[in-house]
Amino acid sequence: MHLESLRLSNFKNYPSAQLEFSSEINCFLGKNGSGKTNLLDAIFYLSFTKSASQSQDQQCILHDESFFSVRGNFELEEKSRTVICGLQLGKKKLVKLDDKPYKRASEHVGKFPVVLIAPNDTDVIRGTSEDRRKFFDAIISQADSRYLQVLIQYNHALKQRNSLLKQFAERDFFDADQLQPFTEKLIELGSEIFKTRQKFLKAFQKLVNGHYANLSEESEVVDLQYESHFSDDIRAKFDESLKKDLILKRTNIGIHKDDFPFLMDHKPIRKFGSQGQQKSYLIALKLANFDYLHKKKGIKPLLLLDDIFDKLDDFRITKLVEMVASETFGQIFVTDARPERTLGIFEEINQDVKLFSIDQGQVQVLS
């Protein structure tokens, strides 16, 4: 699979842009703030039907405009496929595959898998349990459409239960019979999510360990654990938490509280790991992400590398370049603020490299 071309209208800082890509390596070069990352985000949008950096679709619309559209032409299994994502203010987001609109945008996720490695990925290690859940949910959802739909249903039921808890507090009233159906729904859906996450992590852990050993010069032992309320009697936990739920007006038990501790020599990496160890573990997670999707989907995901050469030392850059040279990956998109560095990194690789100069929403092909 590869992305043949990209067309933008009013997307972030691009009034209009059209790019034709190499099926191997594509580099977006320009000063910080010029719009390099926005091009990666447009590609990400074509896969996930949402931005990697903006929580609301409206934030992707160019200032003072009323709509945006992103169009990508893919080659997938020797067939040409066209994806269009767009939004007009006041209307529902549009997602189409080969001119056929989806009823739900979530139905598209996973058809054109993508792996993004970006500077803010450190949140996965240093951030909250929510950051880690989002990371793993994104991987599983691209490989398992059923999982994504169950997760959406769970979050909807959770919202309904929390709304009812707030109503009870506002009215100084409680009805167990009203609350029970929502609790049962969370238990039913949460149990399925729990089993899927468990199965996923068994396979994913091996991939992470292998990549960490390759990327790190250290001999430490790394581990990825899974903490969930569903590992014990979940009904008893909901009963025990009811008083707390009523006081706080939200559901404190469930799959939405899961966490995935990253350990090194049995200690949390975010607290005891060095900066180099954390970088190695993060890249290992992302490469495991790539391998997992490749195995499950039977196609190599697009790999988006956003300004990572500034964040990695020479040893880890060398390891990544070795993987690129060995054709481990499929199509790659790279951003860099230092053109000479990118040219130096890729000049000895026997692959087609296409260079784009980016300047304030304007794109120029260099080679």
% of the chain exceeding 70 in pLDDT: 100
pLDDT value, residue 214: 85
What are the backbone dihedrals phi and psi of residue 94, each rounded to the nearest 5 degrees, phi first?
-110, 130
70 is a domain residue: yes
124 is a domain residue: no
Last residue of a domain, one of 257, 280, 298: 298
pLDDT digit string (tens) for 226-249? 999 999 999 999 999 999 999 999
As a whole number, mean pLDDT of residues 239-268 equals 95
With cut-offs at 50, 70 and 90, classify the pLDDT of residue 3.
very high
321 Rama class: left (phi>0) / alpha (psi -120 to 50) / beta: alpha
CATH of the domain at 108: 3.40.50.300
Q: How does DSSP classify residue 204? A: H
As a whole number, mean pLDDT of residues 330-355 equals 87
Give yes or no: residues 91 and 233 share one domain.
no
Last residue of a domain, one of 283, 298, 313: 298
Give yes or no: residues 293 and 330 share one domain.
no
Token code pair at residue 174? 């409680």
As a whole number, mean pLDDT of residues 249-269 equals 95
With cut-offs at 50, 70 and 90, classify the pLDDT of residue 280.
confident
pLDDT digit string (tens) for 141-187? 999 999 999 999 999 999 999 999 999 999 999 999 999 999 999 99
d(CA 289, CA 308): 17
Last residue of a domain, one of 264, 281, 298: 298
121 is a domain residue: no
pLDDT digit string (tens) for 20-62? 999 999 999 999 889 999 999 999 999 999 999 898 999 999 9
The domain total for the chain is: 2
In whole numbers, what is the pLDDT of the chain averaged over residues? 92
pLDDT digit string (tens) for 196-215? 999 999 999 999 999 998 88
69 has pLDDT over 80: yes
pLDDT value, residue 184: 97
Give yes or no: residues 308 and 365 share one domain.
yes
123 is a domain residue: no
275 is a domain residue: yes
118 is a domain residue: no
Token code pair at residue 58? 């409206």
* SS3 assignment, position 258: coil
pLDDT value, residue 219: 75
Give yes or no: residues 227 and 308 share one domain.
no
Token code pair at residue 367? 């080679």
pLDDT value, residue 344: 84
Give yes or no: residues 284 and 356 share one domain.
no
159 is a domain residue: yes
pLDDT value, residue 215: 83
With cut-offs at 50, 70 and 90, classify the pLDDT of residue 340.
confident
Give yes or no: residues 45 and 148 share one domain.
no
Q: Which helix (H) or strand (E) holds 318?
A: helix 314-325
Question: What residue has token string 């590869």?
Answer: 2
Give yes or no: residues 164 and 285 share one domain.
yes
User: Going by C-beta distance under 8 Å and a sequence separation of 6 or more, which residues neighbour residue 197?
Assistant: 136, 140, 226, 228, 258
Determine the structural domain holding residue 157 and report its residue range.
129-298
User: Going by C-beta distance under 8 Å and a sequence separation of 6 or more, which residues neighbour residue 55?
Assistant: none
* SS3 assignment, position 198: helix
Give yes or no: residues 294 and 306 share one domain.
no
Question: What residue has token string 């190695």?
Answer: 280
Question: What residue has token string 């109503």?
Answer: 167
pLDDT value, residue 86: 96
Give yes or no: residues 282 and 316 share one domain.
no
Give yes or no: residues 108 and 135 share one domain.
no
122 is a domain residue: no
Give yes or no: residues 287 and 348 share one domain.
no
Give yes or no: residues 208 and 330 share one domain.
no
CATH of the domain at 176: 1.20.1050.90
